[in-house]
Structure formats: C-alpha cells, structure tokens
Amino acid sequence: MGIRQNVEKILQELPPGVRLESAAKKREPAEILEAAAAGAKIIGENYVQEAERVKQAVGDKVEWHCIGHLQKNKVKRATEIFDMIETVDSYELAKEIDKRCGQTGKIMPVLVEINSGREAGKTGVNPEEAERLTREISILKNIRVEGLMTMGPAVGQPEAARGHFRETKKLFERLKELKIPGAEMRYLSMGMTESYRVAIEEGANIVRIGTGIFGEREKLKH
C-alpha cells in the first residue's frame, strides 16, 4: 500500500480522541504532503535542520512537533519552526525555550519526556523525577506543559513495552490529579509503528508512526 492508503487505514483504526503523528525522519516533502493530503494532521520531526527544510516545502497545512532530542544551541530555530516540543527533559532546556519564545511573544506547548525504561544514556527524566521537573517548568511564562511523552525501551515485541506505557499512564493521571498550575495533562504521546496498538490500550492519545505510514527507510548512500 502507498502512503495515502496507509494513513487512511490507520486513521480508521484509531479510537476517537487518539491523534496520529506521522514520524517523518529522513522523509521527503512529497511524502509528507501525501500523508497530509490523506488526513495526517501532525508531523513529527527529529532534527531541526531537517524540519526546516521540509517545512519550507510543506508549509503550515499541518502541526509540526519536535520528537527528537533538542540541543540548547538549536532551540532558537526550533521555537520558530515547531508548534509543540515533545522532548523536554531538563529545566535548562525548558528555560532556553522560554527565553527564546519570550523574545517573539510565543507560548510553546511542551511535553515532559519520560525515560520509562530508566535506561542509562537515554534522554528523558526517570518517572520519579517527573513531578519535580513539571513543577519547575510550569512556572515559566512562555511554556505550557500539556502532558507526557515516552519512547519506551527499544524492545522487539510490542507486549514488552506494555509495562512501561502503563507506568507512564499512571504518572500522567497522578500529575493530572495534582492540578499543578501551568501544567494541563492533555496529551500522552506513546507508541510507534510496532507498539502503537499496545500504547493505545494503555492510554496513549498521540501515537507516532513512521514506517507504518511511509514504509521502510532506504539506507543512506553516504
């Protein structure tokens, strides 16, 4: 099946209230435009430069979300390109986003990234640190905390991710109950092509699908 058919099929499968995010790493503008024409409303990009390149061609027909690790030196450009940053995992990063958005009068919706597998060397905060970080960044004037995101460990079987998704959902609900000013738990971004069905069963309302929409990426020649 082509990109259009893949998007249409996934959209028909998704329960009401679950948003499809097309993970467009290394994809061309024509591919993204085809996904958008089929009804994909959110494009997730890992890299600022790549997002800038494709957004020039695709435009504002879709929402642009940052789903990759964001370096502080790329924040200024990221705040100009993206409509949401899903990968906030430190106060320092949040403060830089706040500063850059303050210069342009923008309020940036963000998700706190959770390292649900507590894996050394992985981005995201451990679950037990999430409340502290959420409280710290929720007071920043040009940021609006809108939920949580997790990648989950890179495990072969979708079922192996279930426990990590379940823990992140429990954390999401606990933070929602705390009613932290400046933090509204609206979105829980979990699950990719292999695991999105399990993620939905465990409460995700944004799923990030790349291969399931665009097919396997060709190996780069260089």
Assign residue 131 the CATH number of its domain. Answer: 3.20.20.10
Q: Which domain holds residue 149?
A: 3-213
**Spatial contact of 216 and 194, defined as CB atoms under 8 Å apart:** no
Quote the percentage of the chain above a pLDDT of 70. 96
Position 152 scores a pLDDT of 76
Residue 222 in any domain: the answer is: no
Determine, yes or no, domain membership for 154. Answer: yes
Euclidean distance between CA atoms 73 and 148, whole angstroms? 23
Q: Model confidence over 166-183: pLDDT tens digits?
A: 999 999 999 999 999 999
* Count: domains in the chain: 1
**Helix or strand holding residue 96 (H, E):** helix 91-104
**Mean pLDDT in residue range 63-76:** 97
Task: Please answer whether residues 185 and 177 qualify as being in contact, where contact means their C-beta atoms are separated by less than 8 angstroms.
Answer: no
Flag whether 219 is in a domain.
no
Which of 222, 152, 214, 218 shows the shortest CA–CA distance to 24? Answer: 214
Cα–Cα distance for residue pair 138/146, rounded to 1 Å: 10
Has residue 220 been placed in a domain? no
Closest CA to 44 of 28, 68, 60: 68
Once rounded to an integer, what is the mean pLDDT over residues 62-67? 98
Residue 119 in domain: yes
Reading the block at residue 40, the tokens are 């994909």
Asked if residue 43 lies in contact with residue 32, where contact means CB atoms within 8 angstroms, the answer is yes
Q: Tell whether 191 is covered by a domain.
A: yes
**pLDDT (0 to 100) of residue 220:** 41
Q: What is the pLDDT of residue 155?
A: 65
Distance, in Å, from the CA atom of 6 to the CA atom of 212, rounded to the nearest integer, reads 7
Predicted local distance difference test score (pLDDT) of residue 84: 98
Q: What is the pLDDT of residue 221?
A: 38
Express as a percent the part of the chain with pLDDT over 90. 88
Residue 72 resides in a domain: yes
Burial 196-215 (b: 16+ CB within 10 A, else e): bebbbebbbbbbbbbebbbe
